[in-house]
Amino acid sequence: MTANKSVYLNGEILPISEAKVSVMDRGFLFGDSIYEVIPVYGNKLFRFEEHLSRLQNSLSAIQLANPHSAQQWLDIFNSLLEPGYDQAIYLQISRGVAEKRDHAFPTLTIPTVFAMSSPIEPFTDLNKGVKAISVDDIRWQNCYIKSTNLLANILLRQQAVEKGCAEAIMIKDGYLTEGAASNVFAVIDGVLLTPPKSAGIIAGITRDVILELAQIHSIPYSEDIISLDALQTASEIWLASSTREIVPVIELDGQPISEAAPGPLWHTMNQLFQDFKKSLS
Ligand code: PDD
């Protein structure tokens, strides 16, 4: 990331080295902030309305008014795009700067709005996959909020990395929730499965696209609970996120999945996803 990369902060576009937030910002002091990550393909925001609607859900959940209209958001994001490569907009909104540190909401604050665009590296190596571990989902009960409080997620992801793995797949009360930074799919008995949306997971936009593509192309799928025992018998496991798209898992807790290579349904779905992206530009 270069020092002269332009970012958006509270109404201004400025070099990242000059973008500064107060130490009294509640995002810094309490993690009192939410975020979004919106992929950009062919210089177009991918599923903009859906991302904006999830942003609104997160804002409503933390009782913060949306500081901008859809058109204003669009103008802000478009001003950050650099043509020529796949990128993602990172947007963070905090409850802003208060005079003193107090857990309760201050009466008057102006939200801090920060946005930047960074290159993304979707998973493209058709012959490789990643390793994952299963971990206890130690998070709170409102994981549908895209909160910047990601301490549990980063600690669990770090555990995975220290074991040479790319993702930590979280299990709550014996059942799959999601990855540290992804939704999880499994192919079991020929059916594509993913846990239903709930307060316990992020309502992933990539997840929605995969389910839509499965429906359109008559791939058997179901939104259903998946026990860890069932996950261990899966013929394929995938991770889905805006920054990496669909990533095949080829090893879970040291055991090979789909003969330690990306499975046939992953190849099909990945191709459908790539074709869908191309059809939009
Ligand atoms: N995270 N679940 C979690 C916990 C996530 O952090 C993410 C993505 C997803 C997938 O959602 P989507 O398909 O809308 O990206 C699910 C982003 C990319 C991040 O934190 O950087």
User: Does the CB atom of residue 241 touch ligand 1 within 6 A?
Assistant: yes
Q: How confident is the model at residue 3 (pLDDT cuts 50, 70, 90)?
A: low
For 114-139, the pLDDT digits (tens) are 999 999 988 888 889 999 999 999 99
Q: Are both 104 and 216 inside the same structural domain? A: no
Q: Are both 137 and 272 inside the same structural domain? A: yes
User: Does the CB atom of residue 38 touch ligand 1 within 6 A?
Assistant: no
Q: Is the pLDDT of residue 1 over 60?
A: no
Q: Are both 59 and 92 inside the same structural domain? A: yes
- Domain CATH for 178: 3.20.10.10
Domain boundary among 119, 146, 166: 119
Rounded distance, CA 130 to CA 209, Å?
21
Q: Are both 52 and 148 inside the same structural domain? A: no
Q: Is the pLDDT of residue 84 over 60?
A: yes
Q: Are both 108 and 160 inside the same structural domain? A: no
Mean pLDDT (the chain) is 96
Q: Are both 180 and 264 inside the same structural domain? A: yes
User: Does the CB atom of residue 92 touch ligand 1 within 6 A?
Assistant: no
For 100-116, the pLDDT digits (tens) are 999 999 998 899 999 99
Give the pLDDT score at 138: 97
The residue contributing the CA closest to ligand 1 atom 11 is 204
What percent of the chain lies above the pLDDT cut of 70?
99
Residue 198's nearest CA partner among 174, 178, 173 is 178
For 147-189, the pLDDT digits (tens) are 999 999 999 999 999 999 999 999 999 999 999 999 999 999 9
The residue contributing the CA closest to ligand 1 atom 4 is 181
Structure tokens at 195: 């846990």
The residue contributing the CA closest to ligand 1 atom 9 is 182
Using the atom order of ligand 1, give the atom closest to the CA of residue 39. 15
User: Does the CB atom of residue 37 touch ligand 1 within 6 A?
Assistant: yes
Domain boundary among 119, 151, 172: 119
Q: Are both 155 and 244 inside the same structural domain? A: yes
Please give the residue range of the domain that contains residue 113: 6-119
CA of 108 to the centre of ligand 1 (A): 31
Query: From the candidates 146, 172, 197, 277, which is the catalytic residue?
Result: 146
Q: Are both 151 and 208 inside the same structural domain? A: yes
Does pTM surpass 0.95?
Answer: yes
For 243-272, the pLDDT digits (tens) are 999 999 999 999 999 899 999 999 999 999
CB 246 within 8 A of CB 269: yes
Active-site residue flag, 146: yes
Q: Is the pLDDT of residue 34 over 90?
A: yes
Q: What string of H, E and C letters represents the secondary structure of 40-86?
A: EECCEECCHHHHHHHHHHHHHHCCCCCCCCHHHHHHHHHCCCCCCCC
